[in-house]
Amino acid sequence: MATRNVLLELRSEHANMERLLRVLDQQIEVFEAAGHPDYTAIQDIVLYFLDFPDQCHHPKEDVVAQKLLSLSPGRASQLRGLADLHKELGEQTHRMAGLIRRVLEEAELPRADVIQAVQDFIHSQRHHMQMEEEHFLPLAEELLSASDLEELESEIFQKDDPLFGPETEKHFEMLRDYILKSEEAGREV
Protein backbone atom coordinates (compact mmCIF):
# COMPACT_ATOMS: atom_id res chain seq x y z
CA MET A 1 0.00 0.00 0.00
CA ALA A 2 1.46 3.35 -1.05
CA THR A 3 1.85 5.91 1.68
CA ARG A 4 0.34 9.34 1.40
CA ASN A 5 2.68 12.26 1.19
CA VAL A 6 1.18 14.89 3.42
CA LEU A 7 3.47 17.61 2.05
CA LEU A 8 2.36 16.95 -1.53
CA GLU A 9 -1.25 16.93 -0.34
CA LEU A 10 -0.78 20.32 1.31
CA ARG A 11 0.74 21.81 -1.85
CA SER A 12 -2.09 20.37 -3.97
CA GLU A 13 -4.68 21.76 -1.55
CA HIS A 14 -3.04 25.19 -1.78
CA ALA A 15 -3.23 25.04 -5.58
CA ASN A 16 -6.91 24.12 -5.43
CA MET A 17 -7.67 26.91 -2.97
CA GLU A 18 -5.91 29.32 -5.31
CA ARG A 19 -8.24 28.17 -8.10
CA LEU A 20 -11.18 29.13 -5.90
CA LEU A 21 -9.64 32.49 -5.03
CA ARG A 22 -9.27 33.23 -8.77
CA VAL A 23 -12.98 32.53 -9.26
CA LEU A 24 -13.78 34.76 -6.30
CA ASP A 25 -11.53 37.46 -7.83
CA GLN A 26 -13.44 37.21 -11.11
CA GLN A 27 -16.79 37.42 -9.36
CA ILE A 28 -15.85 40.41 -7.21
CA GLU A 29 -14.68 42.21 -10.38
CA VAL A 30 -18.15 41.67 -11.84
CA PHE A 31 -19.71 42.94 -8.59
CA GLU A 32 -17.39 45.95 -8.56
CA ALA A 33 -18.46 46.84 -12.12
CA ALA A 34 -22.09 46.83 -10.89
CA GLY A 35 -22.74 43.59 -12.74
CA HIS A 36 -24.41 40.44 -11.52
CA PRO A 37 -21.87 37.94 -10.20
CA ASP A 38 -22.61 34.28 -9.76
CA TYR A 39 -23.75 34.44 -6.16
CA THR A 40 -24.10 30.66 -5.99
CA ALA A 41 -20.42 30.24 -6.88
CA ILE A 42 -19.44 32.89 -4.33
CA GLN A 43 -21.53 31.26 -1.62
CA ASP A 44 -20.16 27.79 -2.43
CA ILE A 45 -16.58 29.07 -2.31
CA VAL A 46 -17.18 30.57 1.13
CA LEU A 47 -18.84 27.33 2.28
CA TYR A 48 -15.82 25.40 1.03
CA PHE A 49 -13.47 27.68 2.98
CA LEU A 50 -15.66 27.23 6.07
CA ASP A 51 -15.39 23.46 5.79
CA PHE A 52 -12.28 21.95 4.30
CA PRO A 53 -9.46 24.25 5.46
CA ASP A 54 -10.68 24.36 9.07
CA GLN A 55 -11.65 20.69 9.30
CA CYS A 56 -8.77 19.08 7.42
CA HIS A 57 -6.14 21.28 5.77
CA HIS A 58 -5.14 23.47 8.71
CA PRO A 59 -5.13 20.61 11.23
CA LYS A 60 -2.69 18.75 8.91
CA GLU A 61 -0.44 21.78 8.83
CA ASP A 62 -0.65 22.17 12.60
CA VAL A 63 0.50 18.56 13.14
CA VAL A 64 3.41 19.04 10.73
CA ALA A 65 4.36 22.33 12.42
CA GLN A 66 4.39 20.68 15.85
CA LYS A 67 6.68 17.96 14.51
CA LEU A 68 9.02 20.58 13.03
CA LEU A 69 9.08 22.47 16.33
CA SER A 70 10.00 19.28 18.15
CA LEU A 71 12.79 18.48 15.66
CA SER A 72 14.29 21.95 15.36
CA PRO A 73 12.80 24.53 17.74
CA GLY A 74 15.14 27.28 16.56
CA ARG A 75 14.68 26.85 12.82
CA ALA A 76 10.93 26.30 13.14
CA SER A 77 10.36 29.13 15.63
CA GLN A 78 8.36 31.18 13.10
CA LEU A 79 5.77 28.37 13.08
CA ARG A 80 4.83 28.84 16.76
CA GLY A 81 1.88 31.06 15.85
CA LEU A 82 0.63 28.99 12.91
CA ALA A 83 -2.33 27.47 14.77
CA ASP A 84 -3.36 30.95 15.96
CA LEU A 85 -3.10 32.25 12.42
CA HIS A 86 -5.30 29.39 11.23
CA LYS A 87 -7.84 30.33 13.88
CA GLU A 88 -7.79 33.96 12.70
CA LEU A 89 -8.32 32.85 9.09
CA GLY A 90 -11.27 30.74 10.23
CA GLU A 91 -12.78 33.71 12.05
CA GLN A 92 -12.31 35.89 8.96
CA THR A 93 -14.03 33.22 6.86
CA HIS A 94 -16.99 33.16 9.26
CA ARG A 95 -17.27 36.96 9.01
CA MET A 96 -17.10 36.65 5.22
CA ALA A 97 -19.87 34.03 5.25
CA GLY A 98 -22.06 36.37 7.30
CA LEU A 99 -21.41 39.21 4.88
CA ILE A 100 -22.26 37.08 1.84
CA ARG A 101 -25.41 35.86 3.60
CA ARG A 102 -26.48 39.50 4.16
CA VAL A 103 -25.76 40.33 0.50
CA LEU A 104 -27.92 37.39 -0.58
CA GLU A 105 -30.67 38.56 1.78
CA GLU A 106 -30.46 41.90 -0.04
CA ALA A 107 -29.42 43.81 3.05
CA GLU A 108 -28.48 47.45 2.54
CA LEU A 109 -24.69 47.27 2.47
CA PRO A 110 -22.29 49.73 0.88
CA ARG A 111 -20.92 48.07 -2.24
CA ALA A 112 -17.42 49.37 -1.44
CA ASP A 113 -17.50 47.65 1.97
CA VAL A 114 -18.45 44.31 0.42
CA ILE A 115 -15.74 44.64 -2.23
CA GLN A 116 -13.12 45.56 0.38
CA ALA A 117 -14.09 42.65 2.66
CA VAL A 118 -13.87 40.13 -0.19
CA GLN A 119 -10.56 41.57 -1.41
CA ASP A 120 -9.19 41.45 2.16
CA PHE A 121 -10.28 37.81 2.44
CA ILE A 122 -8.59 36.92 -0.85
CA HIS A 123 -5.42 38.79 0.15
CA SER A 124 -5.27 37.11 3.58
CA GLN A 125 -5.69 33.64 2.10
CA ARG A 126 -3.07 34.23 -0.59
CA HIS A 127 -0.59 35.81 1.81
CA HIS A 128 -1.00 32.90 4.22
CA MET A 129 -0.51 30.26 1.51
CA GLN A 130 2.49 32.13 0.10
CA MET A 131 4.15 32.13 3.51
CA GLU A 132 3.55 28.41 3.83
CA GLU A 133 4.80 27.68 0.31
CA GLU A 134 7.95 29.77 0.77
CA HIS A 135 8.87 28.96 4.38
CA PHE A 136 6.83 26.23 6.08
CA LEU A 137 6.76 23.56 3.37
CA PRO A 138 10.42 23.94 2.30
CA LEU A 139 11.46 23.63 5.95
CA ALA A 140 9.28 20.53 6.30
CA GLU A 141 10.78 19.02 3.15
CA GLU A 142 14.26 19.66 4.50
CA LEU A 143 13.78 18.45 8.07
CA LEU A 144 11.30 15.58 7.84
CA SER A 145 12.64 12.12 7.14
CA ALA A 146 10.66 9.40 5.39
CA SER A 147 9.92 7.83 8.79
CA ASP A 148 8.79 11.24 10.13
CA LEU A 149 6.39 11.55 7.21
CA GLU A 150 5.05 8.03 7.76
CA GLU A 151 4.50 8.84 11.43
CA LEU A 152 2.71 12.09 10.57
CA GLU A 153 0.57 10.43 7.95
CA SER A 154 -0.64 7.89 10.50
CA GLU A 155 -1.49 10.70 12.96
CA ILE A 156 -3.33 12.96 10.55
CA PHE A 157 -7.06 12.59 10.11
CA GLN A 158 -7.84 12.00 6.46
CA LYS A 159 -10.91 13.62 5.01
CA ASP A 160 -11.39 13.76 1.27
CA ASP A 161 -11.62 17.21 -0.21
CA PRO A 162 -15.37 17.80 -0.80
CA LEU A 163 -14.74 19.65 -4.08
CA PHE A 164 -11.43 18.44 -5.50
CA GLY A 165 -11.31 14.98 -3.92
CA PRO A 166 -12.03 11.65 -5.60
CA GLU A 167 -15.78 12.30 -5.37
CA THR A 168 -17.25 15.78 -5.38
CA GLU A 169 -19.93 16.23 -2.74
CA LYS A 170 -23.32 16.90 -4.28
CA HIS A 171 -23.47 20.41 -2.85
CA PHE A 172 -20.25 21.39 -4.66
CA GLU A 173 -21.08 19.88 -8.06
CA MET A 174 -22.25 23.20 -9.54
CA LEU A 175 -19.06 24.92 -8.40
CA ARG A 176 -16.91 22.11 -9.84
CA ASP A 177 -18.78 22.40 -13.15
CA TYR A 178 -18.34 26.19 -13.12
CA ILE A 179 -14.59 25.82 -12.62
CA LEU A 180 -14.26 23.15 -15.34
CA LYS A 181 -16.27 25.21 -17.85
CA SER A 182 -14.14 28.26 -17.10
CA GLU A 183 -10.98 26.25 -17.63
CA GLU A 184 -12.31 24.72 -20.85
CA ALA A 185 -13.18 28.20 -22.12
CA GLY A 186 -9.52 29.07 -21.68
CA ARG A 187 -9.92 31.43 -18.77
CA GLU A 188 -7.41 30.84 -16.02
CA VAL A 189 -9.17 29.46 -12.96
pLDDT over 70 percentage in the chain: 96
- Please classify residue 122 by burial: count the beta carbons closer than 10 Å to its beta carbon, then call 0-12 exposed, 13-18 middle and 19+ buried: middle
Neighbours of 189 (CB within 10 A): 19
Residues 5-61: tens digit of each pLDDT: 899 999 999 999 999 999 999 999 999 999 999 999 999 999 999 999 988 999 999
Residue 4's pLDDT is what? 59
Report the SS3 class of residue 53.
Answer: helix
Confidence of residue 159 (pLDDT cuts 50, 70, 90): confident
Instruction: Tell me the Ramachandran region of residue 34: left when phi exceeds 0, alpha when psi lies from -120 to 50, beta otherwise.
Output: left
| Residue 1 binned pLDDT confidence (cut-offs 50, 70, 90) | very low
Identify the CA nearest to 161 among candidates 49, 67, 62: 49
More confident residue, 186 or 40: 40
